Amino acid sequence: MRAPPSGVGGCMHATFGRSIRKGCVFLDSILPILWPILWPAHCAGCNTLVEEGAGFCRACDVSLVPLGPSCLGCAMPTEAGRLCGGCRNRAFPFARAFAALAYGGALTQALLRFKHGGHRYLAPPLAAYLAPILCEAAGQGVDVICPVPLHPRRLRQRGYNQVLELLRVAGRALPRNSRVHVLRDALSRTIDTPALGHQSPALRGQIVAKAFAVVDHRAVAGKHVLVVDDVMTTGATLAACARTLLAAGASKVMVAALARAI
């Protein structure tokens, strides 16, 4: 077979390249119009149709309760920068606890759909409430942010760690010049603990006491770490993670959750 005349191949490549670029420009212009038509936005809580960019419908949005100033130990609403009456005589392995919203109402439904319904796309509307906490923690000297890990069995079953998905999105709100980074594998869950929902605070603490391990001590040694979970109930899980990190050489640990059971 004869080769094409000199220069023909180059012209064909140039023409093809221009066509591709024009196609990409066309898609960039048309997708913002087609996207809300083909994939309309839905409320994270009740799944009803909402305006594009809205995370929750109006009815669900009013059920979300921002916690505002909270106790440094349990993250329950109280005067800013203080321990509540129930925490003044308690010792915590972490320096401070943050929480964005009260667990309940539409937030509960959204988290259940997100965690157990396979609705991974709900991360952005939920992460929007977690992002300010990450920025506040970054301003207090945090070096590393890590999610509470799932046990490998549960991770295989669910398909993703819901906390890591929240951090992927919320982490984008960190200042561009921030040196804080999300370390997805800082911790591992070495014990497949049972569900803690109906356990007493004391029993919760015993169950998770040795459930975690640091994957790479060098990644956390001497670092100020923020551990994040989706829901904080008694704080037992976050406290166990904090103790594990401190034992591995972390200089300081703070904890945070998107939701706090009130």
Residues 6+ apart with CB under 8 A from 61: 54, 55, 106
The C-alpha atoms of residue 158 and residue 117 are separated, in whole angstroms, by 9
The C-alpha atoms of residue 207 and residue 218 are separated, in whole angstroms, by 27
Helix axis angle for 123-139 and 105-116, nearest 10°, is 100
With 0.95 as the threshold, say if the pTM is over it: no
CB half-sphere exposure, 183, CA atoms < 13 A: 24
Q: Class of the 68-260 domain?
A: alpha beta
Q: Is 61 exposed, middle or buried (0-12, 13-18, 19+ CB in 10 A)?
A: middle
Print pLDDT tens along the chain (262 aa). Answer: 455 555 555 555 555 556 666 656 655 666 555 544 556 889 999 999 998 888 999 999 999 999 989 999 999 999 877 899 999 999 999 999 999 999 999 999 999 999 999 999 999 999 999 999 999 999 999 999 999 999 999 999 999 999 999 999 999 999 988 899 999 999 999 999 987 767 787 888 899 999 999 999 999 999 999 999 999 999 999 999 999 999 999 999 999 999 999 9
Domain boundaries, the chain: 12-39, 68-260
Residue 256: strand pairing partners? 98, 228
